[in-house]
Structure 1
Amino acid sequence: MSRSSRITAFIGSPMDPRCLGTPLMPRLATLGLLMVLGGVLWGLARAPDRSAALAELGDSVEARQSIAAWESLWSELAERGVAALNPATNDASRRAAGDTVFMRYRNLWGPIDDDARLAFQLAALSGDPARKLALIEPLTRSENPLIRFRAHLELARLQRRLLDFEAARMAARAALAVPDLPERLSADAWFILADSAWEQDRLDEAEIALNAAIAADPGFWDARRLRLEVLARQLARPRQTGAVCLDRTRRMIEDLGALPTLAEDQTQFRDLADRFARQDTMPHVALALIVGLGYRWSGDTERARVILENAERLHGQLPHGCERLILKRISGLLEPASTPGQPP
């Protein structure tokens, strides 16, 4: 048998009955399926960073939400710059920060009866804590929920000033327990809970309460400023998940961007960066990112570059997946902008 005959016998000729048992179309379909599968596998091997980060953070609902919020933040910054972090402040009755300790409302309560108004006014004017308590305490039993809420809130403020943190927390919780109040009114009570927890080094409680205060009132300067401190401490603690680490870093960026706008003082970018840069050693890459952004948004791009360039040596202090995403953003900030003044 010739060589060509042997080849023909092996693969079968068109008239060979063996060929009729293996139709051409199914073989082509199988080949096409294999090609598609190969393309899918190649795509998975080169999956976007979100998939890689998700694998490192853990494929959970919490991780997916954290990554989505993180990427949304940076998309907003890329589109609008730091202006994307300006919080909505459409409540003219609230100051962003207290003009005295924990007092920032202005014409908040509307009309109240004359006796209650007089009691609140006399309590505010009195310098005697016992006298203040005697005037305010009966108002905690008022039938008017707004008066009852304000009385509990004033008691919480008073106990906080007296450094009785447990009594302050109890009064703040009583204020939050008053039913049928607008959510925005709860922010001050949440803040007193947070501040009291902070003073007692109860960082988890402080973080939860501050998140609630800012959710109720995004324009609350005091709450955002304290949350920066709490989150910086929380990030330095062990035993946090990658998703929690990423959420905390994102919230620090949001607070950093919001505070100067709320205070109408852009020098706060540098003040805040200086505040965290003064630590003896930068503890982790998240804080390096915060400090670098603070200097960058203040206009000191050289100082920002120095901080960010040294961030890599801080790796290993945070969960790996969280660090990876932060370092990727730091690397992007160090790349030359394609156009002058390109955000963030």
Structure 2
Amino acid sequence: MTLRYLGNSPYCAANSLSVIFGEAGPGAPMIEVASGSPFGFSIGQVDGGHRRGFPDHEIEEIVFFSSPRWSPDFGLARSLDVLGWDCDRIHSSAEEAVAALRRASHDAPVLVGPLEMGLLPYFPGLGQAVGADHVLVGLGVEGDLLRAHDVIGWPFVTISLDDLLAAWQGDTFAYETEAYQVRAGFRQARPVATEEAVRRSMETAIHLLEAPEIAPAAQRAAELVEAGLTNMQYKYLVEFQVQAGARRLADAAVLFHDAGATASGAILEQQAKLVGSLQLLLMKHDDAATASVFRELGPTYGELLDALRKES
């Protein structure tokens, strides 16, 4: 079985929840796997032209290493349910959201988002919407500034409330979501053993892998590569999707294998290696080899579904 990976990865929701849960939490890998994010493959529709300021909107097809049935909102809700945690979700208005931020503290942190990463002014090199969703751990308001932990790498960062609200509209992503979401009042409703959390994560995986669009999406990804990726399609892959996809699969492989689902764990490790191999191929612009990897991935999702049904 694979050596467990520890290190950088775009686990913003899982790492943020780990900060909030503290020692009572199961750690970011279990949180991420419980969300269902590793299981599946899809092509999302992103309005790239609008984000680049062009008057004629261009709808671009973006590769996601997750099920078409999955979204970050689904993942957050599923993680909390599987792991036995509750919280209060506020999403009605900007005024109520800011009021919730003002009630936050180091002892009562809140989860803020999804936010448009490109509109967070402390991020270097962005400055415009890029369709990337992000969350922060809110620690309270100081004057007109939110103090927060950004788990990508900025502890105790600040952002003005005006800038935060501009990034908090929820209208730039490849999935539908609500603006001004805050999750507060986190509390552990019941203790959940790792074995139970993994078992319920396997149930989630089966549901997500049953989406009939998965295998055709992998084939479509190969065709997109062969036709020539746009700048947005390419950047999504090399700057986020490959990292996130390989890490999620690697974590799922270890957790499932350790829980006794060895066949499922082996397939997940195979998928992690295939996705991980894409980074070099994409950076070298080896389109033929990249397309071949996507085609090799396609049938593994059905194989994983069969294995999970037998082992769950």
- Larger strand proportion of the pair: 2
Higher relative CO (Cα under 8 Å, sequence separation at least 6) belongs to: 2
Structure with more of its chain in helix, by fraction? 1
Same fold (TM over 0.5): no
